[in-house]
Amino acid sequence: MTGPSDTSRPASPPEPKSSSGVLNGAQAHGEPGNSSLPGPDLSPESTLRGIPVSPGIAIGTAHLIARGMPDSPEYCVTPDHLDGERQRFFDAVTLSCQQIQEIRDRLKGGKHNQEMLYILEAHLLILEDNQMRQGPLAHINNQRCNAEWAVKRYLGDIMAVFDRMEDSYLREKKRDIEEVGKRILNNLMGNRFETFSDFPEPVILVAQEFTPSDTLLMDQDKVLGFVTEVGGRTSHTAILAKSLGIPAIVGVKGATSQARTGDRLVVDGLSGKMAINPGLGAIDRFETRRNSFRSYRKQMIQESSEPALTKDGHRVRLKANIEFSHDAKKATLVGADGIGLYRTEHLYMNRTTLPSEEELYQAFLEAGKVMTGGPITIRTIDVGGEKQADAFRLNRDSSGINPALGLQAIRLCLRQEKAVFNTQLRALLRASAKADIRILLPMITGLEELEEALELLAEAKEALVREDIPFDPGIQVGIMVEVPSAALCADQLAPRVDFFNIGTNDLIQFALAVDRMNESVAYLYAPSHPAVLRLIDMTVRAARSHGISVSLCGEMAGDPRFAVLLVGMGLDELSITPNCLPMIRKTIREVEHKKVVELARSVMERNSHESITAQLGEFLNDNLGSDHIFH
């Protein structure tokens, strides 16, 4: 088995040509994905490997995104030229503002309209900040240096201060300031700033990494696919890539050093392979594979009206994970049975003010108007950790040196942001009068925490009754089971809720003590680890014994190998990114329930995640038709 990437282009060993679905790339360390299949053979010197995060095959021209600081000139200026340098700096700042405003205007009416606007507004605020102007001016005046050097010195000073901070929120803000600073520098130097939307022809982007805002700004008509050197399967950027439906691979070591702008590139988002300047034969094989995949996708879409029914008649409800209200339309197009997870964090991110109750109400109602074929499960505020929200900054304490274990999600709502939590609960309750809304509480660790949250919900209901505002008094409430303590206490929690929703992205992280954002320990992130499967099994059994439903909404559910295992373990529902839902439906329709139950029993007796992963791959190979190469 190999690692996630081969960084040495000429030294890469020939790839195995196994036809037995040997797990390669990311799967070698247990990452869920579609890389159980061998792709077209490539010459060793042209292939890099990473973690496939968004299925599909892109063939096109590479465009390398340089995200480092521009190599700017540094020189001293004479006193009689200082006015000119100051004016050049002001002109660059003004031009930067104009560029961002133009992008903002161009994006009006776009699919990520509101979220993009928040990001751009945040960058405008940085540009308008007095410190961002006075800092470089001080260097020009005192050091008598050119404007580029002054900006670079100022940024260096600021970055050093941020690096010394323990507050994770402030460390994250460093990236926004860097991005704005680079824009000013590029404008000083006359460089063109790339926006991912004005390429003359469609390209494949290659970068060290993309921020979530970069991903949001990608024009799907101009970006065929993308590759990054860092990132994991459950990183926010990876999840957004899947949501956009752009073939993508992350964690490709050496991508930016070996690929050049203008290279012919193939991104195989199924196997995790990136081919640089492949030969004509390889191109032909990839084109054949791409055409087959497109036909396969078309067939899957045509089957969207069909239920996820196993060959022997067992029904599985497939719901969709969405980031934004308008994503509900995607869910309906692929025949989702409802929204299994509506993340509300974006309603609070990249803005300096909190959303009003009316704004939240309208957002929830918008999703409800589109998704009429099933319930909409809306997760309450889950900010903190790696998900920082500017709007909370005024009242927020430090997350500590380990943000994932700090004040976030329901903890933040119960300890520090009860008023914000109440506003969201009121909006959810009001929306429940007109739509089939379910409330999902994140990061519950025990009964006391759950009782406290339910008490606040009861108070919100009483207030609406007093105000004669309608809501559904029987609105269902569930919890995310995403920390081991919740799974271990599932039998205590089940009587107090209407449903469980297992969040495996965090459950795996906490159970195995693996930072899922850290690619250096990605090999330990194993969804098939016996400990993870036992926690899931305990949760399912507790739900069963108390007669409540149980769903799973982590990335694990979007992997066909794990999807069949989860159905065999007794999951009622799986919630998946809309783009992956047809693939999972097709997989379920091609297996027998009695066989996946037998598979689950056999798997639970194993004690190695590697042997479990191998068994799941063999099951797919043995039970699916010829199209299994795209599962």
Question: Which positions are catalytic?
Answer: 236, 553
Neighbours of 629 (CB within 10 A): 22
Q: How far is CA 106 from CA 98, 110, 113, 214, 245, in A?
A: 12, 8, 10, 16, 22
Neighbours of 4 (CB within 10 A): 24
Confirm if 598 and 343 have CB atoms less than 8 A apart: no
Q: How far is CA 557 from CA 140, 184, 573, 604, in A?
A: 56, 43, 10, 17
Q: Is 537 exposed, middle or buried (0-12, 13-18, 19+ CB in 10 A)?
A: middle
Interaxial angle between packed helices 357-370 and 418-432, expressed in degrees from 0 to 180 and rounded to the nearest 10: 40
Give the list of residues 6+ apart from residue 22 with CB closer than 8 angstroms, or none.
16, 36, 38, 617
Reading the block at residue 339, the tokens are: 């929204």
Reading the block at residue 230, the tokens are: 């860092």
What are 225's strand-pairing partners?
Answer: 204
- Give backbone dihedrals phi and psi of 376, rounded to 5 degrees, phi first: -115, 115
**One-character DSSP codes across 355-378:** PPHHHHHHHHHHHHHH--SS-EEE
Secondary structure letter of residue 4 according to DSSP = S
Interaxial angle between packed helices 82-106 and 130-143, expressed in degrees from 0 to 180 and rounded to the nearest 10: 160
β-strand 264-268 against 273-276: which pairing, if any? antiparallel
Q: Which helix (H) or strand (E) holds 275?
A: strand 273-276
Task: Give start and end residues of each alpha helix (H) in 15-63.
Answer: none
Which is nearest to 272 in space by CA: 43, 577, 56? 56
Can you say whether the dihedral through the CA atoms of 63, 69, 71, 72 is positive or negative? positive
HEC profile of 398-454: CCCCCHHHCCCHHHHHHHCCHHHHHHHHHHHHHHHCCCCEEEEECCCCCHHHHHHHH
What does the angle CA 602 – CA 557 – CA 224 come to, to the nearest 5 degrees?
Answer: 135
